[in-house]
Structure 1
């Protein structure tokens, strides 16, 4: 079985200094404007679109145009970026491999065999590791990003569909959704072992960790219960459950505006959650079959991969409205990821 795949400082908001920390130190080495020769920048990042039946697309977000198509493995189901090492990782579900792409030259530099049915990828730059959830073999492969070899295989529960790394420097945890059991496995990224499991909603499809420094939460999209479970990462327990659209498939955060964006494939919509109040504040209609969302907080954009309509919708996260122009895809887009330093 395959997964379906503001101005000022208001009360509860972070001051500008704290907000800047959300973006990460990596931005210090990224140009402020698009460079001649086609590099991504703070004002115009590169978008990577994984397609289930075709190549990995490289997109110029300023022009909303595909600039390159990179051949990868078969049945690509997930994509993630390591900004520090200038690498893009694509999980190939059919091939049971991960393609490693150098995003300066935009070509595959390694192909790493992993478990069966790899579907999502998450990068842990601090520990030079890449985590891959393997849907059919019920485990997580950990790739050493220095040598592109699997350094550990971690057993989890049935049908792992997503993995996310806690980005906060004092934390060392990865969260894995297990669709078959309705639980989240918590992995210690130092010891590469599961330390606990957390019951969430039915058929959890995806997990993401809120980058806002004071929130200490992870959001889980529950495909079988049309809800989002909010995990308190201090206690590793569910603190609240938020109703969203039908069959939610992914979650991504705008840490600057304290919002979470949740795609719902059954309703062709994105639910916008205020992460301070834990309430849905808007529902945005997008294309057909939205499976994944990636947020660019610096430019107030969210990008949604619509598998059935073969395109990517762009949401203005200041107004939570869809921009008129979509980005065309060609072969069932399933996952999106952003890079401020990639080459077009």
Structure 2
């Protein structure tokens, strides 16, 4: 039987020159990981755009589980919150692959439209939304039936489709037209009589060049969009539900409206939202900086240096720590939100990009785009965060998600 992760240290820890210092530090000790119950499984899924595969990493035993052949040019990944499935967008095959996380096999392929890039799953686990960049459309997928059930037009080159937490609003960022499209989403029905009204166009906002990443606040009241072709973030107030307390108090909240454009650094490419929704941290790729946005007041609090070419950020569940991948420095920066400073830096593989936490957040995973592997950072240790090991992936890994579940023994 293989050795669980709390007792195992990959031999690659000694094979990578950047980890040589770990041999002399206490960060390489093999204890400190929490125990897991019988039947517990946890995997990371990495889309490898250059090898048309998804790498599955076992996060209990810290090893590569297998490599799955999917469609061509896989990009976006999403996890179903209520069933053990993972979805892979195949940009060059115009499809979505469905992975059964219990068997780690591809069990279905769902056709969509030209050059899909991103997939968002609602919190019911019944529907997914895919932005089709090459056809200027967004697809609605019924995940029970595993097929497309609705299609709507968007702006030019949509890159991201984000469903709101209340499942009422779909926001699409249109990179080519520098705009944002917003849709009403009909409530889920097992067998809808009229699928043409699942998505209803609501509004559009221009003036956001290179619109890419977007976040929606936990209460579904606002959206913030990175205008990557410039140096701003767009803030939009999202329409309140008819009959809601907010709408009754202020009828103007029944419509979407532009709040402001916020000046940040050059080429904002990623927005990391605190779980409590109070702040957003912007990765400014060409300014080597991050900016903090106060979501309550719609203001930029500060912009400060972080590292070379920051591309992705992720905030801990307790809202205290921000991790940022420095694409140009082969490192991750740990920013202490409570202290307002950069607390630490950890070396990684070459060109770290996408980030994901393990379920208990004892591990942080970074997909290294150039070296084709995944850096595994131990986030909680007496000496501070350390690079624990590096696991192999495929060519040009570009996205990573994790899925944890428990099965009966």
2:282 and 2:391 map into 1 onto residues whose CA distance is 27
* 1:73-100 per-position Cα deviation (integer Å, ceiling 9, x unaligned): 2222222212213332223333344333
Moved more, 95-104 or 58-67: 95-104
Deviations, residues 195-223 of structure 1 (Å, cap 9, x unaligned):
43643332222222211x3x512222121
Tell me, yes or no, if structure 1 residue 208 matches structure 2 residue 259: no
Give the RMSD, CA atoms, in angstroms: 3.3
Q: Which range moved further: 313-322 or 122-131?
A: 122-131
Distance 1:275 1:142 in 2: 37
Structure 1 residues not aligned, in runs of 5+: 1-30
The equivalent position to 1:237 in structure 2, one of 299, 310, 313, is 299
**Shift in alpha-carbon separation, 1:222–1:311, aligned structure 2, 3 A:** same
Match of 1:341 in 2: 405
Task: Give yes or no for the alignment of 1:49 onto 2:46.
Answer: yes
Structure 1 residue 280 corresponds to structure 2 residue 277:
no
Local SS of the residue matching 1:323: strand
* Aligned with 1:161 (options 209, 212, 228): 212
Query: The residue matched to 1:125 in structure 2 has which SS?
Result: coil
Is the CA contact 2:91–2:114 (under 8 Å) kept in the aligned structure 1? no
Go from structure 1 to structure 2 and tell me whether the alpha carbon gap of 1:139 and 1:224 turns closer, same or farther (over 3 Å shift). Answer: farther
- Tell me how far apart the structure 2 counterparts of residues 104 and 122 of structure 1 sit (CA, whole Å): 21
With the length of structure 1 as denominator, give the TM-score of the two structures.
Answer: 0.74
Using the alignment, how far apart are the partners of 2:212 and 2:89 within structure 1?
A: 12
Q: Which moved more, 1:54-63 or 1:277-286?
A: 277-286
Paired residue for 2:356?
Answer: 294
1:177 is the counterpart of 2:226:
yes
Which of 223, 226, 235 does residue 285 from structure 2 map onto? 223
Q: Distance in 2 between matches of 1:186 and 1:85?
A: 33
Match of 1:22 in 2: none
Unpaired runs of 5+ residues, structure 2, are 1-34, 156-173, 179-208, 242-254
Correspondences of 1:19-168 after superposition (within 5 Å)? 33-35=37-39, 40=41, 45-54=42-51, 55-105=53-103, 106-114=105-113, 116=115, 118=117, 120-125=118-123, 129-132=127-130, 143=141, 145=143, 148-149=147-148, 150-155=150-155, 156=174, 157=178, 158-166=209-217, 168=218
| Distance in 2 separating the partners of 1:173 and 1:241 | 22
Measured after TM superposition, the shift of residue 172 of structure 1 is 5.0
Alpha-carbon distance change, 100 to 209 in structure 1, aligned in 2, over 3 angstroms: farther
State the structure with more CA Rg: 2
Contact 2:210–2:227 under 8 Å retained in 1: yes
Q: 1:92 to 1:228 in 2, by over 3 A?
A: farther
Q: Which has the higher contact order (CA 8 A, sep 6+)?
A: 1
**How many aligned positions are there?**
300
The 8 Å contact of residues 254 and 297 in structure 1, kept in 2 or not, is answered as no
Q: Is the 8 A contact 2:137 2:151 kept in 1?
A: no
Change in Cα spacing, 1:144 to 1:235, as seen in structure 2 (3 Å) is farther
